[in-house]
Amino acid sequence: MAFTVGELSRLTGVTVRTLHHYDEIGLVRPSQRTAAGYRLYDDDDALRLQQVLVFRELGVPLDEIGPAIDHATDRPALLRKHRVALVEKRGRIDAMVAAVDAALEVLEKGRTTMQPEDFQAMFNGFNPEDYEEEARQRWGQTEAYKESAQRTKQYGKPEWEAIRRESEAIYARLAQLMQQGVAVSDPAVQAAVEDHRMYLERWFYPCSKQMHHGLGEMYVADLRFTANLDKVVPGFAQFLRDAITAS
């Protein structure tokens, strides 16, 4: 298939301006042009654009992305490496989600802010540096923090891998139900929601339904969480929030 720049923009969410820029710097160039000179992108161009977006998600500078793709002799292997890196990133974000739930309790009860050493202990094992300053300003000391810190600082790779697998399985169940058009109040959806709450309780801290509801609101209130969850399937963050609210 061949896509105009406007069609590719609508399909991928990448702005026309960005696509023009990628063409100008030689990062993603259309393989064809119409007789009038308009850009036409084929399947290979779209695959290259996807790889560029993954590199950008992983924080690779633009000027390093082109050579990395061009010099790859095994593109499927490169994509597999990308997938591993993205899964690891999602694992870190899942850990942040657990802390956000505790933060809601802080904001609601107005407790004092936690000390830097407490914060560092809470996030031991999953690279909190990208979020540390913001979290220090927003969040405070809670019993949930203490509980999660006590548990997670004991976790090694096997535990974090188990956490990742369980999270992926729950999200996959919910995404399938969402795509089937099942109502958020349906028993199958609510069973998955309860599994999600118990997943947090089992691995991080006691998670009441009230706290779980607060986490659901954070999924749609914070665009970063929304964007991450919507990678499961578009609209997933809103569906998950609505399902939690219905519980």
Q: Please tell me the distance from the alpha carbon of residue 170 to that of residue 47, in angstroms, as a whole number.
A: 28
Domain boundary among 70, 89, 120: 70
113's tokens: 């802010």
Q: Binning pLDDT at 50, 70 and 90, where does residue 195 land? A: very high
Q: What does pLDDT average to over the chain?
A: 78
Residue 200 within a domain:
yes
Q: Please tell me the distance from the alpha carbon of residue 39 to that of residue 195, in angstroms, as a whole number.
A: 48
Same structural domain, 167 and 207:
yes
Q: Among all chains, which residue has been given the structure tokens 């890196």? A: 85
The whole-number pLDDT of residue 186 equals 94
The whole-number pLDDT of residue 114 equals 42
91's tokens: 């694992």
Residue 50 within a domain:
yes
The whole-number pLDDT of residue 126 equals 36
Residue 165 within a domain:
yes
The whole-number pLDDT of residue 112 equals 46
Q: Please tell me the distance from the alpha carbon of residue 110 to that of residue 140, in angstroms, as a whole number.
A: 8
For the beta carbon of residue 66, count every other beta carbon within 10 angstroms: 17
Strand duo 32-33 + 39-41: pairing: antiparallel
Indicate the number of domains in the chain: 2
pLDDT tens figures, 73-107: 777 787 787 777 777 777 767 766 666 665 555 55
- Containing H/E element for 41? strand 39-41
Domain that holds residue 17: 3-70
